[in-house]
Amino acid sequence: MSPLLLIALSLAQAEAPTLRFRAVGDVMLGTSVPEGVLPPDDGAHLLDDVAPLLQDADVTIANLEGPLCDSGTSAKCRKGGNCYAFRSPTRYAKYLKAAGVDLGSTANNHSGDFGEACRRETEAALDGQGLVWSGPPGSIGTLTAKGKKIALLAFHTSGATNDVNDLATAKKLVAQAATTHELVVVSFHGGAEGLGADRVKDGAERYLGENRGDLKAFTHAVIDAGADVVFGHGPHVLRAMELYQGRLIAYSLGNFATYGRFSLIGALGVSVILEVELADDGRFVKGRLLSTKQEGKGVPMRDETKRGQKTIAELSARDFPKTGVRVADDGALSAP
């Protein structure tokens, strides 16, 4: 191939249209159970500092760490016990919409905290704001942006959702979505939790006796089946990012906006907004990390110290020396 043709191809690729995503990890804007854990001003201004960053994208996705419902009881809450069950008011869906969220994962270990009726109430609240969701078994959310039909498939390590641990079904579902959509986005909630859970390991991870997924096997399998980008969350801390078959995998985006009931000590309060640009064929073109943190009881703010991007740079180089993304000083992402 002549040098001139190579240059022409490079210029054509550089000028090819792209779709720009922004993604965040766990979002729980306050809970009505127990009483007294809703944010000031009923949460109306909780996302003010980060909303312009969420809005500055073609598509923005978040993990909804807990349901949106106004009734029901939780089997988790026993008399005298410490109850980690979340239930945000359905009216909070409008705050997600106003902040710029377009896609929401409802596949996680808190989405069923108040039962199946609450799941349906969550879905209705999201539908009412025009927010696209995925979570229950077989569910595929669909959104059109810049003329592209985009699929969202959200997974958790549970039979009540699309299941990270059922690779055969996951691959079939992704392949199905790839035949009817131009881009396929996979979101997963998996892995161990807490301050010691920042490493991506080989094989299945366990937490409190539960199988929380073989995340390398899962992410690679869904990309082989047709996924174009994979956004992870669940450990409550940031994890590494890698490129596999030209597709980006973020193994955990941490706690983004988790008001009132989450420990935010140290790395638990550090997060990022991940920006990813995809070509028409779904391959990774470029990306960027915008560092954030949570202050007080869980107010997301921009972090000028860039701790989030530094953490991901270190973990990516350590866990994936050959395939991990490279992070520049300005947060820009590039292939290894």
Percent of the chain with pLDDT strictly greater than 70: 94
Model pLDDT for residues 109-141, shown as the tens digit of each residue: 999 999 999 999 999 999 999 999 999 999 999
Cα(53)–Cα(57) distance, rounded to whole angstroms? 8
Is 81 or 242 the better-scoring residue by pLDDT? 242
Percent of the chain with pLDDT strictly greater than 90: 89
Closest by CA position to 25, among listed 305, 334, 258: 258
Distances (CA, A) of 124 to 128, 173, 187: 6, 23, 20
Q: Which residues of 280-297 are buried (b: 16+ CB within 10 A; e: fewer)?
A: eebbbbebbbbbbbbeeb
Number of H helices, E strands in the chain: 7, 19
92, burial (CB in 10 Å: exposed 0-12, middle 13-18, buried 19+):
buried
What are the sequence ranges of the domains in the chain?
16-334
Distances (CA, A) of 59 to 62, 132, 142, 243, 256: 10, 11, 12, 20, 17
Beta bridge partners of 324: 242
Q: What local confidence, expressed as pLDDT, does residue 115 receive?
A: 93
Distances (CA, A) of 123 to 112, 116, 128, 239, 258: 12, 11, 9, 29, 20
Closest by CA position to 108, among listed 225, 231, 209: 231
Look up residue 325 and give its DSSP letter: P
146: left (phi > 0), else alpha (psi -120 to 50), else beta? left
Model pLDDT for residues 249-305, shown as the tens digit of each residue: 999 999 999 999 999 999 999 999 999 999 999 999 999 999 999 999 999 999 999
- Return the CATH number of the domain spanning residue range 16-334: 3.60.21.10
- Rounded to a whole number of angstroms, the distance between the first and last alpha carbons of the chain is 25
Check whether 160 has a pLDDT greater than 90.
yes
Confidence of residue 11 (pLDDT cuts 50, 70, 90): very low
Check whether 8 has a pLDDT greater than 90.
no
Closest by CA position to 178, among listed 247, 133, 226: 226
Q: What local confidence, expressed as pLDDT, does residue 4 receive?
A: 54
Q: What local confidence, expressed as pLDDT, does residue 18 receive?
A: 94
Cα(230)–Cα(286) distance, rounded to whole angstroms? 15
Question: Tokens standing for 11?
Answer: 């210029």
Do 22 and 275 touch, CB atoms closer than 8 A?
A: yes
Q: What local confidence, expressed as pLDDT, does residue 12 receive?
A: 46
Confidence of residue 164 (pLDDT cuts 50, 70, 90): very high
Mean pLDDT of the chain: 94
Check whether 86 has a pLDDT greater than 60.
yes
Q: Summarize the confidence of residues 29-50 as an average pLDDT.
A: 95
